[in-house]
Amino acid sequence: MPKDGGIGAPTRRREDVRFLTGTGQYCDDMNMFGQTAAVFARSTVANGVIKSIDTTAAAAMPGVLAIFTGEDFVDVGGNPAGWLINSRDGEPMKEPKRPVLAHGKVRHVGDAYAAVIAETVEQAKDAVEAIEVDIEELPAIVNMKDALSSTNYVHDEIGTNQCFDWGWIEDNRAATDAAIKGAHHVTTLELVNNRLVPNAMEPRCSMAQYNRANDEYTLHTTSQNPHLTRLLISAFVLGIPENKLTVIAPDVGGGFGSKIYHYGEEALVLAAAKKLGRPVKWTADRTEAFLTDAHGRDHVTKIELALDEEGNFLAFRTETLANVGAYLSNFATATPTFLHGTLMAGNYTVPNVYVNVKAVFTNTAPVDAYRGAGRPEATFSLERVIDKAAREIGMDPIALRRKNFIKPDQYPFASAAGLEYDSGNYDALMDQMEKVADVAGFEARRKESEKKGKLRGFGVNAYIEACGIAPSNLVGVLGSRVGLYDAATVRVNATGNLSVMVGAHSHGQGHETAFPQVVAEMLGIDPQSIDIVHGDTSKIPFGMGTYGSRSLAVCGSAVVRATEKIINKAKKIAAHMLEASDGDIELKDGVFSVAGTDKSVTFGEVALKAYIPHEFPLEDIEPGLEETAFYDPANFTYPSGAYCCEVEVDPDTGKVTVESMTAVDDFGNVINPMIVTGQVHGGLGQGIGQALLENTTYDENGQLLSASYMDYVMPRADDVPFYGVDHSKGTACTHNPLGVKGCGEAGAIGSPPTVVNAVIDALQSGGKNVTHIDMPMTPHRVWSAMQNV
Amino acid sequence: MYAFDIERPATLAEAVAALSNEDAQALGGGQTLIPTLKQRLASPEKLISLTGVAEMKGISSSGGVLTIGGGVTHGEVASDGSYKALSDLASNIGDPAVRNRGTIGGSVANNDPSACYPAAALASGATIVTNAREIAADDFFVGMFETALDEGEIVTAVKFPIPEKANYQKFVQPASRFALVGVFVAKTADGVRVAVTGASNEGVHRWSAAEEALSKDFSAKALDGLSVSADDLIADLHGSAEYRAHLVAVMTKRAVEAAA
């Protein structure tokens, strides 16, 4: 290992120096000469017909430069859905246009119907207030069940509020039904996977410049994947040629999924910059973030688990309503389907799985992938119903899971939900979890809690996720309209240091530290001589971005492939310099040597030779030392884990405190264990937030009641315990060069059912026969559940 | 926010004069007003900052009465300690930034139905001192966001008789961390007073049945069987009226246990 940290070293994050010293450069930190400000006029009603918009008075106000309405964008394209889902009857999903600005109708509170460009933000805000708009309010469509039976449509032109009715796997349906019908025991549970507001610390911001001299646009924007944003704007929305549009995502303060997508504000500032010939910047305020960032989750599910006399799982069957909100966000259709239904066999050998998902339009903010994206919903349904089943048949919840686990000698394992798991060892994870969490000592701790008048509960959970998305060929068959590979360029500079251009964007993941560890390990050089370049379409070959815990597994693999090419070429150069044959050159600790001799040249000498190619075999080797690789994986990766937690419930108030949380994960090989631990910590915090705190609530009129931090409960440090995190029991991924699986989402996937299971256990221990409480398990909800039994 | 002018008078007389302008609005620590302005939900033409008024600063104790200047911050009350239950209450308002800016005068004048200080003032039998008069806490808190203050009247101090025993129990609304239900219990030679915040559509109020029971027997047991009606209590996404009613009883018991 290089002395400053190669693969496996807990190297401190180099990017933290700038983040912690206030020298990061976020979009809103950047200001351009001649910059103007955009402010949006947003609907205050959830559903309404735009009768008229009069901008005359607003246009005459001080500093106002331009006003746009939906009318200005009727001739440009809509923001598309990236994944085509077909219904069970073969019909393609309904895809109503998602315009840059609302036209004809507003469809959720916060839907933008106009935008003012002015010299200053305050002038633009004043002018927005002066826009005279006449919106005829219609009844809001909020509840999904009501939406499906209503003739009041979010999108009149499609004549239904159902986007699709998807079955997975349709051919398994009859067998699953039969298995459930004939089963010894069936456990049924209806549950809600609560809607979450992403709440990235940095609200969205987009700033556009237009250069009339060469007809080029530059968009600085808060994006997790600038190339995808460019592609969507170029190919679908504004039609700006890709070679005329640069998209830059500089430092980005968190995304959690919400910044994967292209939003109308990006198109608006680009169009305005061209019209005005001046830079245009828009920065969301926190209210806009609450109302317009793509939300997460929002499933209502009925799940059934069939078991035989011994507790063997025979079948899982689910019916889910998935809220997609008012418009289809880019991956809204993939999240409740292929990122959800395909995981519905969990870690288990269950032979039958059938999943039905109806996606529903409502007058609420669009819903799309949020940390975990479909997989938390699958895990929650499975692990809650398994827990309920264990209680019903009187079996220990850990033993029931173990009985049904896929065993280490069964890989590759074809799951009943259509995936082929490559590796894993769920029993080993459970063993480690029992050790780390001291599960054996729980009863003693429960007694201590009872002495204080508290109910203590233990909850356990096992999860599997599909990450590193994914093979383009496979996702193409499943409906994806994009490929899911990634790219990297390794540029060795003449003086021996490296710039590595990567398609994955880092907005909290620590790529700037972890990726150099990989390259440094391969080349045997100091990682400090390697810098990562990301987030700029003009500097990077291509990229599909950062989401789905894919950066290391996919983009990291591209980095490995490009570095291998560098090594191959460098060996040829070294062979020439050492007058030896390529095959005899060995690379170790940054030195190329001829096997069995003391003849050697350093990596730096080879780099210099590549750029000063005197006496160079130009007929065999090109000058320079720069290589690019695109990597398209052979399969998803399958991280898995065993989680448990202990909670205390105050029976007088219903308040739940998480006393301990243990996460034992199989992430495959680990590049930087410190960063991985941090990723798990973040995910656990979000998972506990979902389980206990985060209460996205729309009222019957479609008003978001929890639209500020006065009512939306974000987890804070004192809401979470010190975590027990362990990733020592990983099994290497079998199909990518680093053997890595991905760790970004795990904590948020594994923790919510763990917490709910623990709360139910606590209440049961107190003699309260409560079998389920929907998240968030607020004190009020827990107290109410206790009163109602 | 909308544009406004701001003045920062150095004396109470200047502040009173400045506030006689009908477009002027007093600005204390700004912990409610500034966020409101940022949301463009208020548009005063002129703000009169009270943070420079010398007469409104300082904490003094005399004859069993603690006098806290209207401009004293929560942080200063928290670190004072001469009325422990009050200092404890102050130390749990908001976060350090809020405590270093927010003032007791601003809090009681705003009379947020979920604020902590009104419960302390009412349970302690405090007196609200203004530039014009002294008002008993029982008369001061009129209803949700309503007080007995006249237009332009400034809270210059709050006088707290220090009780024999007192305690404040707050069950926080998890997002804002204001009181979902807060109960302040104070025992003096004259009896026990119990003030409830966070629960009622009428704002802070006393729970007379509990006061009566506790005046006879200052123990949690004395509250057994007592409950408050859910009528007219606040119901929102954090808790129903019934839940709040239940919490009033639980928090009162806990306050008595902690005070005893």
pLDDT surpassing 70 at residue A283: yes
**CB A663, CB A643: distance < 8 Å:** yes
Instruction: Tell me the per-residue pLDDT of A482-536, one tens digit each, with 9 for 90 and over.
Output: 889 999 999 999 999 999 999 999 999 999 999 999 999 999 999 999 999 999 9
User: What pLDDT is attached to residue A5?
Assistant: 84
Interface test with B, best of A128, A652, A777, A781 (most B CBs within 10 A): A652
Q: Which two tokens stand for residue B2?
A: 């909308």
Average pLDDT over residues A467-483: 88
Selected residue with higher pLDDT from A473 and A275: A275
ipTM of the complex: 0.96
**Which of B40, B238, B247 is opposite residue A653, by nearest beta carbon?**
B247
Residue spans per domain, chain B: 5-49, 55-161, 165-259
Interface test with B, best of A454, A716, A780, A783 (most B CBs within 10 A): A780
Q: Containing H/E element for B135?
A: strand B134-136
Q: Across residues A332-342, what is the average pLDDT?
A: 96
Q: What pLDDT is attached to residue A470?
A: 77
Which member of A122, A287, A711 has the closest CB to residue B237? A711
- Tokens for B250? 């639980």
Degrees, nearest 5: CA angle B192-B194-B200: 160
CB B154 within 8 A of CB B50: yes
What's residue A254's pLDDT? 95
CA distance B115 to chain A (A): 13
In tens digits, chain B (260 residues) has pLDDT values of 899 999 999 999 999 999 998 889 999 999 999 999 999 999 999 999 999 999 999 999 999 999 999 999 999 999 999 999 999 999 999 999 999 999 999 999 999 999 999 999 999 999 999 999 999 999 999 999 999 999 999 999 999 999 999 999 999 999 999 999 999 999 999 999 999 999 999 999 999 999 999 999 999 999 999 999 999 999 999 999 999 999 999 999 999 999 97
Q: Which chain B positions have a beta carbon within 8 Å of A710's beta carbon?
A: 175-176
Preferred mutation among B31, B112, B237, B251 to probe A, highest tally of A CBs within 10 A:
B237
Q: Is B237 near chain A, with CB under 8 Å? A: yes
Q: Which domains does chain A have, with CATH numbers?
A: 16-22+485-631 (3.30.365.10), 31-138+201-254+259-292 (3.90.1170.50), 299-470+635-787 (3.30.365.10)
For residue A215, count CB atoms less than 10 angstroms from its CB and return exposed for 0-12, middle for 13-18, buried for 19 or more: exposed
Nearest partner of B194 among B224, B223, B174, judged by Cα: B223
What's the DSSP call for residue A234? I
- Contact between B175 and A287 using a beta-carbon 8 Å cutoff: no
Q: What is the dihedral of CA A715, A716, A719, A724, to 10 degrees?
A: 90
- Model confidence over A688-722: pLDDT tens digits? 999 999 999 999 999 999 999 999 999 999 999 99
Picking from B38, B169, B243, B248 by the largest number of A CB atoms within 10 A of its own CB, the best residue to mutate is B243
Residue A1 has pLDDT above 80, yes or no: no
For chain B, give the longest Cα–Cα distance.
56
Per this entry, what is the length of chain B? 260
Instruction: Say whether pLDDT at A2 is over 90.
Output: no
CA distance A447 to chain B (A): 22
Measuring CA to CA, which residue among A698, A715, A716 is closest to residue A707? A698
The per-residue pLDDT for range A626-657, each reduced to its tens digit, is: 999 999 999 999 999 999 999 999 999 999 99
SS3 A651: coil
Contact present, A279 and A285 (Cβ < 8 Å):
no
Residue A469: predicted pLDDT: 83
**Topology given in CATH for the domain delimited by B5-49:** 3.30.43
Q: How far is CA B185 from CA A37, A770, B165, in A?
A: 53, 34, 8
Q: Are residues A705 and B250, on separate chains, in Cβ contact within 8 Å?
A: no
* Percent of chain A with pLDDT strictly greater than 90: 97
> Among the residues of B81-171, which ranges form H helices?
84-91, 96-101, 104-110, 117-124, 137-140
Measure the CA–CA gap between A731 and B13, rounded to whole angstroms: 76
The per-residue pLDDT for A474 is 87
pLDDT in tens, A752-787: 999 999 999 999 999 999 999 999 999 999 999 999
pLDDT exceeds 70 at position A3: no
Q: Under DSSP, is residue B251 helix (H, G, I), strand (E, B) or coil?
A: helix
Put simply, whether B174 touches A (Cβ < 8 Å) is yes
Average pLDDT over residues A212-232: 97
The pLDDT of residue A32 is above 80 = yes
What digits encode the pLDDT tens for the residues A551-594? 999 999 999 999 999 999 999 999 999 999 999 999 999 999 99
Q: CB-based contact (8 Å) between B243 and chain A? A: yes
Mean pLDDT estimate for chain A: 97
* Chain B nearest-CA residue for A694: B175
- CB burial of B215-254 (b: ≥16 within 10 Å; e: otherwise) equals beebebebbeebebebeebbeebbbbbbbbbbbbbbbbbb
The answer to whether B254 and B260 have CB atoms below 8 angstroms apart is: no
Q: Are A438 and A458 in contact (CB under 8 A)?
A: no
Beta pairing class for A486-492 and A498-502 = antiparallel
Residue of A318, A272, A283, A297 lying closest to A197 (CA atoms): A297
CA atoms of A504 and A493, how far apart (whole Å): 22
> What sign for the dihedral angle of Cα B26, B27, B29, B30?
positive
Please judge whether B174 and A710 are an interchain contact, meaning their C-beta atoms are less than 8 angstroms apart.
Answer: no
Q: What is the CATH number of domain B55-161?
A: 3.30.465.10
What is the dotted CATH code of the domain comprising B165-259?
3.30.390.50
A779/B237 touch (CB, cutoff 8 Å), yes or no? no
- Partners of A711 on chain B (C-beta within 8 Å) are 175-176, 237-238
Closest to A602 (Cα-Cα) out of A577, A621, A566: A577
Q: Which of B239, B85, B80 is nearest to B169 (CA)?
A: B85
**Confidence (pLDDT) at A197:** 98
- What is the mean pLDDT of the segment spanning A232-243? 97
> Quick check: A780 and B171 CB within 8 A?
no
